Structure 1
Amino acid sequence: MCESLKNKVALVTASTHGIGLAIVKNLAQKGATVYMAARRLEYADELASSMNQEFGWNVKTVCFDAYDETCYSEMMKTISEQEGRLDILVNNFGTSNPMKDRSIEDTEWKEFRETVDVDLESVFRTTQEALPLLKIRGGSIINISSIGGNVPDISQIAYGTSKAAINYLTKLFAVQLGRYQIRSNAVLPGMTATDAVKDNLSDHFRDMFLHQTPLNRMATPEEIAAAVAYFASDEAAFTTGQILEVAGGFGLGTPVYGDLMNGSNRR
């Protein structure tokens, strides 16, 4: 087993399923002590215990509720008391209700504001509270954004706006925190094979999306986690402020790319 992150301490928010859980597994496999930050703490405890027993990893848990004002400081207090430092921060939390977060014509201001507020707060406040621990040895901040933050869509206006703002924050962190040897980068997944995608997106929508994706498939959570692990590692020691799309080439083609690949008007 490669232990390239041995002696590193990592925190991953919203990490009991999907991309977040894949990130926890990847970092732990590489030797890091990984804190799963989750609202469902009992479930997180069960997952951590199972992984530690099966693989000999060092996965721990800490309570994280993006909607709880007191959570952010309490989370860092726990890590400070137990570890005394933090080397890797992965801001994975993000939320949106596809049924309510639609176009500018169909989205209520309250829904827009609430989605943007919590998505940005989860990144800003977690990072701000983590700074005293990250400054001790320097470290790596990795924000999980979305291809939707780079490519405007016909729906999910709040989610796309928040992810675009997170891309900006990523670069801002890189500029403002570089003097502490703290790096900041973002990973932008495209459509990824998670339960959330299966539960919230129709087969028709998924097919349309993949017709605009040159690799013509969804990412796996493990492929997103691999990009995170790179930014977390010393191999990326001189890489900061980067916005990395891990989206199979989505959005690179001409506007008629999807129609051409669908076979309706092949040249």
Structure 2
Amino acid sequence: MGRVQNKVALITGGASGIGLSSAILLAQEGAKVVIGDYNTEGAKKAANNLKEQGFEAVGIFLDASKQESIKEAIDFTIEQYGTIHILYNNVGLTNLQKDLDVVNIDLDEWDRLMNVNVKSVLLGSRYAIPHMIKAGGGSIINTASMAGFAGDSLRSAYGASKAAVVNLTRYIASQYGKDNIRCNAVAPGLILTPAAKKNLPPAVLNIFEKYNALPYHGEPEDIGYTVLFLASDESKFITGQTIQVEGGHYMGNPSMADFNALSNKA
């Protein structure tokens, strides 16, 4: 207990899944948590559940596609708790119906994903950093994705946007390290969030598991614990890094699973 005691944290996209898991763990370890989400009811419900357990939390509306909404979330955090030490830029969008291959992608969807997935990280950091400098430092954590490290048949905009998050993380770390501000990212693989469980059929889950080095899928807590580590002083000499939390899915030769299956048949 107490790994982020008395720290103030803002988590964007914190009403469910990875963001919610991170908010819970940060609160349990002593942080005062602001949960921002487009789903205002979900954000407030999450905060109330934490308060009922004796933790400090509040839920607010946040539209990561709007610059003013991001600024208002930072301003609210400062008004509520006087400072900010931890910013977790977690909001990210994808759309399999419109985010297609390069020839067929909807260009408006490209602009939308770049705005939400990349610009929201820039803006959240832009508005939080001056307050972190006043506080003597802080930790910014961004949600990237393994899609930023590998090509795919679809989701061209999503992959490009997450690759941009990886490099923006390095730029923030380089520019504000002397102010004692660290910036790192987490790149999840397939994580069994409620949305993933609802939308991905067993056949798709089986394909992912086939190519994992580990014999199981990731859970939101696997990302949450990584976020907690990066938010705490345990990672005080780590900055500009993207930690890949993906069960070894992209680690080995991609044909290895098929060769193993062939060997087992022999």
When the two structures are superposed, what TM-score results if normalisation uses the length of structure 2? 0.94
Matches of 1:134 and 1:103 in 2, distance apart?
A: 40
Q: Are the counterparts in 2 of residues 98 and 200 from structure 1 also a CA contact under 8 Å?
A: no
Select between 88-97 and 111-120 the one with higher mean Cα deviation. 111-120
Alpha-carbon displacement from aligned partner over 1:99-142 (angstroms, at most 9, x marks no partner): 22122233222222221222111111111011121112200001
RMSD: 1.5
Question: Percent of pairs identical after alignment?
Answer: 35
In structure 1, what is the equivalent of residue 226 of structure 2? 227
Select between 74-83 and 98-107 the one with higher mean Cα deviation. 98-107
In structure 1, what is the equivalent of residue 3 of structure 2? 4
Q: CA deviation at 1:265?
A: 4.4
Matches of 2:34 and 2:10 in 1, distance apart?
A: 5
Q: Are the counterparts in 2 of residues 123 and 143 from structure 1 also a CA contact under 8 Å?
A: yes
In structure 1, what is the equivalent of residue 212 of structure 2? 213
Matches within 5 A, 1:1-267: 2-53=1-52, 55-136=53-134, 137-261=136-260, 263-266=261-264
When the two structures are superposed, what TM-score results if normalisation uses the length of structure 1? 0.94
Q: Are the counterparts in 1 of residues 7 and 86 from structure 2 also a CA contact under 8 Å?
A: yes
Opposite residue 60 of structure 2, the aligned amino acid is V
Matches of 1:256 and 1:119 in 2, distance apart?
A: 31
Opposite residue 256 of structure 1, the aligned amino acid is S
Q: Secondary structure at the match of 1:135?
A: helix
Q: Secondary structure at the match of 2:248?
A: coil
Q: Are the counterparts in 2 of residues 84 and 133 from structure 1 also a CA contact under 8 Å?
A: no
Select between 13-22 and 118-127 the one with higher mean Cα deviation. 118-127
Opposite residue 208 of structure 2, the aligned amino acid is F
Matches of 1:22 and 1:43 in 2, distance apart?
A: 13
Q: Which runs of 5+ in 1 are unaligned?
A: none
Relative distance call for 1:197 and 1:154 in structure 2 (3 A) is same
Q: CA deviation at 1:158?
A: 0.8
Matches of 1:186 and 1:245 in 2, distance apart?
A: 9
Q: Secondary structure at the match of 1:215?
A: coil
Q: Are the counterparts in 2 of residues 22 and 225 from structure 1 also a CA contact under 8 Å?
A: yes
Alpha-carbon displacement from aligned partner over 1:62-113 (angstroms, at most 9, x marks no partner): 3211122321221121112222211001000000112221222332222222
Matches of 1:15 and 1:135 in 2, distance apart?
A: 24
